[in-house]
Amino acid sequence: ADLLECIGESRYLVTNNWPDEAAHCRIIEAEADTVLYCDIGYYSEVIDQEQVCTPCSPGYYNDNYGRTECDPCPLSTYTDQSASLTCSKCMDKSAEYYQDEEGQASCKKCASFSEQKGNGSSADDCGCKAGYFFDAAGSCVKCHDGGICLGGWVVPYAQAGFWQSEDSQDLRFESCPMAEQGCLGGVYNESSGVVEAAAVCAETRLKEALISNQRTWRCEDATEGDVDQKLEDVAL
């Protein structure tokens, strides 16, 4: 039998030794028939009784020869190209993108001021960016003055020299009247993700006890005689 080749953009088989023009299929000769093996990025199908190699549609890919169908891009990935050999991760575009469906040609974007904190496969993994926090309506809003917002789902807590009233509904902070003398409080526990409240205001000599993860929760008058006892009660 004549050698069969795939030619040009048609992807059709011909029965001549035609030059291999941008071929997207491969031919092997079996004992009885010559078999069409489509190239990677393509799949084999029959159109008008002719076997052809068709490029994978956007959202689908094929990384093997001889396939009769293409695979859908898995969750968290996409491809906007035809004849794709693989799919790209949405988060490679930006941390703001994700995809929670298979076989997609584009990515979805997290809500304003939020980004993916997971593997990019769910809108539920869109947490606030650093410097923002979730308000009561579930939107990410900018951190108020005097607060520290780590992003994600962490509740804002006060900077040193500020405190948060227990009845503050919008997570606003107030300046501590003894800020220049040093106030300790609200310690963020990184392992548990919980802000552990404490209440200590101190004399000037306690400035040295202020470390980066010690934050004001509430300010109260304290005599120097109270300081040593209160320091024993607060984990520095």
- In the chain, the percentage of residues whose pLDDT exceeds 70 is 56
Q: Exposed, middle or buried, 54 (CB in 10 Å: 0-12/13-18/19+)?
A: middle
Q: What letter does residue 216 receive in the DSSP assignment? A: -
How confident is the model over 83-109, as pLDDT tens digits?
A: 999 999 999 999 999 999 999 999 999
Cβ-contact 122, 101 below 8 angstroms: no
**DSSP of 184-213, one letter per residue?**
EEEEEETTTTEEEEEEEE--GGGGGG--TT
Please state the domain extents for the chain: 1-55, 73-127, 130-233
Confidence at residue 22, expressed as pLDDT on a 0 to 100 scale: 35
pLDDT in tens, 101-147: 999 999 999 999 999 999 999 999 999 999 999 998 999 999 999 88
Cα(210)–Cα(202) distance, rounded to whole angstroms? 10
> Do 39 and 80 contact (CB within 8 A), yes or no?
no
Query: What confidence category does residue 188 fall into, taking pLDDT thresholds of 50, 70 and 90?
Result: low
Q: Which residues contact 73 (CB under 8 A, 6 or more apart)?
A: 59, 60, 61, 79, 87, 99, 102, 103, 104
| 174 HSE (CA, 13 A, CB side) | 10
Q: The dihedral of CA 225, 228, 232, 233: what is its sign?
A: positive
pLDDT tens figures, 67-87: 889 999 999 999 999 999 999
Lowest mean pLDDT among 44-58, 114-128, 163-177: 163-177
The answer for 205, left when phi > 0, alpha when psi is -120 to 50, beta otherwise, is: alpha
Name residue 128's beta-bridge partners: 114, 152
Q: How confident is the model at residue 160 (pLDDT cuts 50, 70, 90)?
A: confident
